[in-house]
Structure 1
Amino acid sequence: MNVVSTLALRRLTAQDNAAIAAVIRQVSAEYGLTADKGYTVADPNLDELHPLYSQPGHAYWVVEQDGKVVGGGGIAPLACSEPDICELQKMYFLPSARGQGLAKKLALMAMDHAREQGFKRCYLETTAFLKEAIGLYEHLGFQHIDYPLGCTGHVDCEVRMLKSL
């Protein structure tokens, strides 16, 4: 018997706060991305992402598989930077959601939203541990840069990338 799962990509709601925080924590633990290194798990807003991504210029989407949040990603203005630069943020997917093109779809949706908001460039930070993510970002046209932009607080994210929108 073939079981078909249902997938949905939708905007974050307040009811999703705990579920997406759990996804981020689980994936971070899987890759050894600990809070003491300044990764996303150290973000003081991690348990309350909805209010953060409800602000102007911000947006966050979750991926739901059979009614359960299995991933997400967002876009926001890059703090302490030029006003035309946004940041692709908090792209995390559980193993069950990987390899299905969902991260690509979400990233493209986020960049379309950023263009609509008037952003001209999109920045991101990640770590070399996330080889699959880096491959996706390169495929999407992000270029590696040698210096950090803005003030993200992610001091151990040694991979920095930028894309013109």
Structure 2
Amino acid sequence: MNIRKVKNTDNSCLAEIIRAAFHESDAPKQGTVYSDPTTDDLYELFQNEKSILWVAENDGEILGCCGIYPTEGLPKGCAELVKFYLLAKARGKGLGTRLMQKSIGSAKELGFAEIYIETLPEFDNAVSMYERAGFERLEKPLGNSRGIPVVIFG
């Protein structure tokens, strides 16, 4: 298992993984990352110097991704944990935890002291993982993200 930075050649595969998660969970597609045009060019999106996207692969097969992004409007010193998606066959094996920990470590290296997450209730396994990792639900969204902030952690 290898975790590495995103490459330009990863774009189409990562977009497929992200959209597959929405189909599997019957999550809303409009107004979410599913319909966001940046989903098709994640390499370019993560060229921001205060961001990073990690990609997990095994024997050349991309299994998922997770990253850190300085979403506009977040409090100073706070970054958002973003684009956290895995293929169904890669879930439940500790890979998600490894990707999340790698991303949180990167956030600290980039100078962030706090991490913010938005997710949808349809991704209930992710919600459970965030809670186990020590994230707490917030009453209202932070920043200017374009998602549907239903379950928010800080």
Q: TM-score normalised to the size of structure 1? A: 0.89
Q: State the partner residue of 1:9.
A: 3
Give unmatched runs, 5+ long, in structure 2: none
After TM superposition, what 4+ stretches of structure 1 lie above 6 angstroms from structure 2?
A: none
Q: CA deviation at 1:78?
A: 2.2
Q: State the partner residue of 1:161.
A: 153
The residue type equivalent to 1:29 in the other structure is H
Q: State the partner residue of 1:77.
A: 70
Q: State the partner residue of 1:31.
A: 25
3-state SS in 1 of match to 2:126: helix
The equivalent position to 1:57 in structure 2, one of 50, 58, 65, is 50
Q: TM-score normalised to the size of structure 2? A: 0.95
The reply to whether residue 20 of structure 1 matches residue 14 of structure 2 is yes
Structure of larger gyration radius: 1
3-state SS in 2 of match to 1:42: coil
Q: State the partner residue of 1:4.
A: none
Q: Please give the alpha-carbon distance, in whole angstroms, between the structure 1 residues aligned to 2:77 and 2:97.
A: 22
Q: How do 1:77-96 and structure 2 match up within 5 A? A: 77-96=70-89
Q: Percent sequence identity over matched residues?
A: 32
Q: Please give the alpha-carbon distance, in whole angstroms, between the structure 2 residues aligned to 1:33 and 1:69.
A: 22
Would you say how many aligned residue pairs link Structure 1 and Structure 2?
A: 154
- What is the aligned-residue RMSD (CA, Å)? 1.1
3-state SS in 2 of match to 1:143: coil
The equivalent position to 1:103 in structure 2, one of 90, 93, 96, is 96
The residue type equivalent to 1:32 in the other structure is D
Deviations 1:59-104 (A, max 9, x none): 0011113311121111111212223110000111111100111111
Q: CA deviation at 1:57?
A: 0.8
